[in-house]
Amino acid sequence: MNNIFSAIRALPITALIFSGMLLLMGCGEADGKKISNSLPEKPSTGQAGDGNLAQIVEYIRIDSGLPALAAVLVHDGQVIEMTATGIRSINSNKAVTTQDKWHLGSLTKSMTSTLAAMLVKQGVINWHTTISEVYPELLGVMNSKYENIQLDQLLSHTSGMRLNLPEVNSYQTSSIDIESQRQQMVEAALILNPEIEQGQFLYSNLGYMVAGAMMERLTNTSWETLLENNLFNALAMTSSGFGVPDVQGNLSQPVGHISQGSGWVANNTDNPAVMGPAGIVHSSLEDMGNYIAAHLAGALENDVAGLLTAEEFSKLHATTKSSNYALGWVINADSLTHNGSNTKWLAEVQIFPKKNMALFIVTNAADLQKNQSSNAYKAIDKLTAELVKRVDAAFYN
């Protein structure tokens, strides 16, 4: 299948994670806990809407040894089915539910780009707005190669900026407000030398962080509030927020897990909030169903009332000359896709315009250091294949 391995997965694994907090901890230590469920009989694929998705997801989850696995499937603008199976933590028997919230990692990038399109529509900013126009006080201080970098270059990873800010983890314990943190981040980022020439592709969390800060500067509003007031409100994403879902640490929501040996260790940490525009959103399955339905409509050249027109979506879904990356999306021959991870979760979106379908799959565990041997990746690929077959059986046979 032409999937995300052909794009994002072809990048160095650190491009999937969004900070220097590459917590591949536990290597060489005792095994973490394993999923002990006995494997049930493999269910038949069936067809979308037949009520058997939970059995399929549960089989793949146990076969892959994951704490939890969840999915939502959209066809023709409607959520056809969704389910969540497994447990919130390897240390507990609390079951996940379809109302639970899931960390999205770099799926946030397409949300930041969608927010940018909404602000362009409102006349707050435009795609050609440059860094120096937003931060004129940094002229003569910033590296001159960044002066004319445009918003759309930051969002398409063609600004020349490196993957991450070297000292980003120092923001983890910052006590100043988030907008001031992002101002400090911009000042630190713009004195760095570019990694590559402007116009070439280099996956950059830092570019998204700077883009988010530009939106904050022009609106005097935090990126978080902008996203809530614009995107979340427009799509009734009432269960979406920022950072780890289990913010109270009481297993009221799922927690992430890292791979240790052949098992898992629960880990409820996230990257610093300053990295928000690059990937710290969490959402429920229903919210993600609304979100992917909107982008499916846009990919089918339809307007979405209260959000964007077909033409405005086309900007988000158009690739650059240097890669098949658009603005927060990888564009393949038959799909729009992206995945994300903070090294403790793995989430993926796939949109198939020709099949009029979109899907979101997520697990609260990640073993990214195993690359294509990753159990989390394999589970997502297996479930993607099943969902596509179920849609074909329901609507195209």
- For residue 36, what pLDDT band results from cuts at 50, 70 and 90? confident
386 with 320, same domain: the answer is yes
**Predicted pLDDT of residue 371:** 84
Question: Residue 332 burial by CB count (10 A; 0-12/13-18/19+): exposed, middle or buried?
Answer: middle
Sheet with 101-103, edge to edge strand ranges: 101-103, 281-284, 241-242
Give the C-alpha separation, 264 to 372, whole Å. 18
Q: In this structure, are residues 59 and 35 in contact, taking their beta carbons and an 8 Å threshold?
A: no
Structural domain tally of the chain? 2
230 with 209, same domain: the answer is no
Whether 256 is covered by a domain: the verdict is: yes
215 with 340, same domain: the answer is no
Task: Supply 160's token pair.
Answer: 């020349």
Task: Supply 328's token pair.
Answer: 């927060």
Cα end-to-end span (Å), the chain = 19
Give the C-alpha separation, 112 to 110, whole Å. 5
Residue 364 has pLDDT above 90, yes or no: yes
Closest CA to 287 of 349, 376, 223: 349
- For residue 9, what pLDDT band results from cuts at 50, 70 and 90? low
Report the mean per-residue pLDDT for the chain.
93
Task: Supply 336's token pair.
Answer: 């729009």
Whether 314 is covered by a domain: the verdict is: yes
Whether 106 is covered by a domain: the verdict is: no
Give the C-alpha separation, 352 to 49, whole Å. 18
Helix residue spans in the chain (DSSP H):
53-64, 108-122, 131-134, 151-155, 178-189, 205-219, 223-227, 233-234, 276-279, 285-299, 310-316, 375-391
Task: Supply 278's token pair.
Answer: 């690059």
293: left (phi over 0), alpha (psi -120 to 50) or beta: alpha
Q: What is the CATH number of the domain that holds 170?
A: 3.40.710.10
Whether 105 is covered by a domain: the verdict is: no
Residue 182 has pLDDT above 80, yes or no: yes
Weakest mean pLDDT among 180-184, 282-286, 338-342, 372-376: 372-376
189 with 307, same domain: the answer is no
137 with 88, same domain: the answer is no
pLDDT digits (tens, 9 = 90+) for 233-281: 999 999 999 999 999 999 999 999 999 998 999 999 999 999 999 999 9
pLDDT digits (tens, 9 = 90+) for 99-133: 999 999 999 999 999 999 999 999 999 999 999 99
**Predicted pLDDT of residue 25:** 39
Whether 14 is covered by a domain: the verdict is: yes
The dihedral sign for the CA sequence 171, 173, 174, 177? positive
Whether 382 is covered by a domain: the verdict is: yes
pLDDT digits (tens, 9 = 90+) for 142-167: 999 999 999 999 999 999 999 999 99
Element (H, E) at 173: none
Q: Which residues share a beta bridge with 351?
A: 336, 358
Return the higher-pLDDT residue of 54 and 27.
54
Q: What is the mean pLDDT of residues 200-212?
A: 98
Task: Supply 21's token pair.
Answer: 């907090």
Give the C-alpha separation, 302 to 286, whole Å. 21
What is the pairing mode between strands 256-260 and 241-242? unpaired
Give the C-alpha separation, 132 to 159, whole Å. 13
**Predicted pLDDT of residue 37:** 82
> How many residues does the structure list for the chain?
397
> Three-class SS of residue 57?
helix
280 with 320, same domain: the answer is yes
364 with 320, same domain: the answer is yes
Whether 12 is covered by a domain: the verdict is: yes
pLDDT more than 90, % of the chain: 90
Domain coverage including residue 95? 4-100+226-396
Beta strands in the chain (DSSP E): 68-75, 78-86, 101-103, 241-242, 256-260, 263-267, 281-284, 330-331, 336-340, 346-352, 357-363
Weakest mean pLDDT among 84-88, 258-262, 314-318: 258-262
Whether 107 is covered by a domain: the verdict is: no
148 with 33, same domain: the answer is no
Residue 68 has pLDDT above 80, yes or no: yes
pLDDT more than 70, % of the chain: 93
Residue 4 has pLDDT above 70, yes or no: no
pTM of the entire predicted model: 0.94
